[in-house]
Amino acid sequence: MTISKHLQIRGAIAAVLTSGIPSGVAQVHENREFALATGVVRQIHVNFRGAQPLVGADGVVYTGHPRDWRTEIEVAVLARKDAGLEACDVADALWCEIYALVMSDQSLGGRVSSLEPGDIALDWAEGETSACRLTCSLFAQHRTDHHSIT
């Protein structure tokens, strides 16, 4: 089965993180709900958020020509308090590792022409144990044939 270039990019980012899996993370999850299982301290999610065709200077998307895209992939870190560090500090330290891994090859092995970070957001979940979710969108620019997204 052939998958879209957009999901190939998501998979490439997940593969980079899996190959250099950051400290204390057992698994990198692709397109899953943000749920931190009991006893898990650090978790990474890589999710496809959307893609837009890029238009020419005149505002037109031309047919019959290669198509440029801007694909948004969200990387999320979920963390709990650990070893005396607050949950947001655990998430931030993990994000620093993730950022260094992903941005070390901004072409994702030649799959994209550029990879740029977007906004970073921090959110809290209160419950039996407090958890922190840090998310960042990564924007990948890439090209497909005019009649295909693979």
Q: Tens digits of per-residue pLDDT, 103-125?
A: 999 999 999 999 999 999 998 87
User: Residue 28 pairs with which residues in a beta bridge?
Assistant: 44
Determine how many CB atoms are found less than 10 A away from the CB of residue 24. Answer: 16
User: Can you tell me the distance from the alpha carbon of 45 to that of 14, in angstroms, rounded to the nearest whole number?
Assistant: 8
pTM over 0.75: yes
Domain ranges in the chain are 5-144
pLDDT in tens, 7-22: 999 999 999 999 988 7
Banded model confidence at residue 76, pLDDT cuts 50, 70, 90? very high
The Cα–Cα gap between 14 and 27 comes to: 10
Q: Does domain 5-144 have CATH number 3.30.2000.10?
A: yes
